[in-house]
Amino acid sequence: MCGIAGVVSPDPEIQRRVVEMVAAIEHRGPDDMGIDYLDGIALGHRRLSIIDIDGGHQPMYNPDRSVGIVFNGEIYNFPELRSKLEAKGRRFVTRSDTEVILHLYEEYGVDCVCHLDGMFAFGLWDARRRRLLLARDHMGQKPLFFMQSNEAFTFGSEVKALLASGFVSPEIDLEALYHYISLRFIPDQLTLFEGVQKLPAAHRLVLQDGSARIERYWSFSFGNKLAGSEAEILDELDATLQDTVRAHRLSDVPVGTFLSGGIDSSLMTAILARQADSPVPTFSVGVRDKGFNELPFARMVADQYGTDHHEQIADADLVHRLPQMIWHLDEPADPFGVGVFMVSELAARHVKVVLSGDGGDELFAGYDRYSGVQMAEGLRFVPAVIRRSVIRRLIDFMPESFAYKGLSQKLRWLNEMSLMSREDRYAESMSFLRFTEESKAGLFSASAKRRLGEIDSKSKILDHFNSANAEDLVERMLYTDLMTRMPDHLLPIVDRMAMAHGLEVRPPLMEHRMVEFAARIPSSLKLKGRTLKYLLRQLARRYMSEELVDRKKQGFGFPLAYWMQNELSGLLRGVAENSAFVEAGLFERTYVRSMIEDHIAGRRDHNYRIWILLNLEIWHRLFIEGTPREDVTDWIQRGAA
């Protein structure tokens, strides 16, 4: 696990910008650094040493130095690939997975990426062809960004590396902002920075003769269903997951797990503990509020498997750490990211590698909205005019609980979803708690809306929802999440929040062969009636107590809605009156002020929307204005005092 950077230019002076780029991502690889200047390119690398600790220095080259690479990630099938390459006469001088990619390229060219199982992002320079190959893994576990200017083509593991090159000035990409506040992720090749692009998951970029082409090298579908009884499919799932976890143990250093107390992370912990020869280090973060705290359930798993367990409590003062988190993310933080940041900080004190349960909900239908979208269809027997008028008013009269998934919030969601078609229903469900197209019409200023023109965030969902790669309603929802939220939101957050502390996170459920296998499981075994994640729950019964398996899904979170009404109210009012986005002519002050005051007064729970606005303000100060992190932290502390 590392950080990579590169500058393609024939000018040696321009190539030297790679020094600042590598320095900006030092946190990704505290163990080693390497920079080489070649004819046409400079390659830079920061290393977190996990495999072949002594021999894996980068940049790495083939014997005649005609091909060089900087690589970030882990290739889980590299022992098998190495054996096959040796049988072809290839000779290796290290034990690293990086060297395997070099030999694969010499055998298969740009198709080398099709042979890899793992998480990866790399830049490979072919000196003979003067060709650059960039590649990102199948599900987007490892990030990769690039930019083409008049002076050079640059790439790096994080946006801040490209900003450090000096080839671009940080400016807001308005289209990315528009989509982000609805979807909670930035779609396609967009970033929040104009001129900076991300390489999408499962894509490679080939730069040659000054021209870049981007192409997808892998996809999956929900066809070719598994045959057999439920018991037989369950056995096959068990065996597949055990094999996947075993492959993810590949390491020359100890491997632990994140343990939230939910089914997914508990299952990863249980399988790893059964395979390991010594107690598995496990790490959990919780809060004092019982409605959000999952630590007791995490302890149950830790006790059952005798893990070396560590835990930590988070309080409202975590908001003071947002500048640090946002700086590492290069974009606004997410409540989910706060938890990953804190548990990564805890884990990094003890290990360099952990397994996580990320992806279980997206593969096996674990979110309420999967069943909720189907339930909304059942409400359509009530005349639409009654749902639009009477039911809406009744729900508005209900007091807001400000609790996680409060009753009024769920009823409002269900009623509004019932008023839409199947396609629009799922697209709207992604933004309902944040900024819908209707609410953005009030938030954005008239001048910003003119600049945006005809634009709709729903299309970023519907393009995947309506894909031929998925069949029934459940599969369409799962496919959409796996193609959008996983590579553009959840996995990037896990990567950057963990790498902020020099920690590698491996999610076995997101290995692409595991994704292909899960897609073949009939959807009736994923969402069975109203039972979410049915088949994975059945598997979990083989590894843990019924109490853990059957408890209501809670989700890892914080009581942000309460904190915003109390400890954070002063800070939020300051945001309303001194918003950088208002001053820039992008947002309407009256809309922002009204939303915040409604929440503080308890009239409406807007915590998801307010969280986005608060984080955007911090992001703007850090990246657009260039305010030092310490000064932004001081601003937060003064406002939250």
The DSSP letter of residue 159 is H
**Cα(103)–Cα(115) distance, integer angstroms:** 12
In the Cβ-directed half-sphere of 189, how many Cα atoms lie within 13 Å?
Answer: 14
Cis peptide preceding 279, ω within 30 of 0 = no
In the Cβ-directed half-sphere of 15, how many Cα atoms lie within 13 Å?
Answer: 15
| Structural Rg of the chain based on CA atoms | 24
Which residues make Cβ contacts (< 8 Å) with residue 451, sequence separation at least 6? 174
Place of tokens 């990567």: 495
Judged on CB neighbours under 10 Å (0-12, 13-18, 19+), 220 is: buried
Q: What is the DSSP string of 165-230?
A: TTSS---B-HHHHHHHHHHSS--TT--SBTT-EEPPTTEEEEEETTEEEEEE-----S-SPPPS-H
**Cα(266)–Cα(248) distance, integer angstroms:** 16
Instruction: Write 98-101 long-range contacts (CB < 8 A, 24+).
Output: 98/56, 98/58, 98/60, 98/69, 98/71, 99/60, 100/75, 101/69, 101/71, 101/75
User: What beta strand segments (E) does 48-139 contain?
Assistant: 60-61, 67-75, 118-126, 131-136
Q: How far is CA 505 from CA 72, 113, 352, 491, 556, in A?
A: 13, 21, 9, 10, 17
Q: Tell me if 354 sits within 8 A of 283, measured CB to CB.
A: yes
Q: Tell me if 41 sits within 8 A of 14, measured CB to CB.
A: no
Question: Which sign does the torsion angle of CA 299, 301, 303, 308 carry?
Answer: negative
Phi, psi (deg, nearest 5) at residue 136: -125, 145
Question: Which sign does the torsion angle of CA 69, 71, 75, 79 carry?
Answer: positive
2 carries an active-site annotation:
yes
Exposure class string for 451-464: b at 16+ Cβ within 10 A, else e: eeeeeebbebbbeb
Which residues make Cβ contacts (< 8 Å) with residue 247, sequence separation at least 6? 76, 77, 117, 508, 511
Catalytic residue among 2, 133, 152, 548: 2
**Cα(245)–Cα(265) distance, integer angstroms:** 12
Token reading at 70: 């900087």
Q: How far is CA 570 from CA 15, 142, 321, 449, 613, in A?
A: 47, 38, 17, 30, 15
The DSSP letter of residue 566 is T
Place of tokens 């630590």: 295
Residues designated catalytic: 2
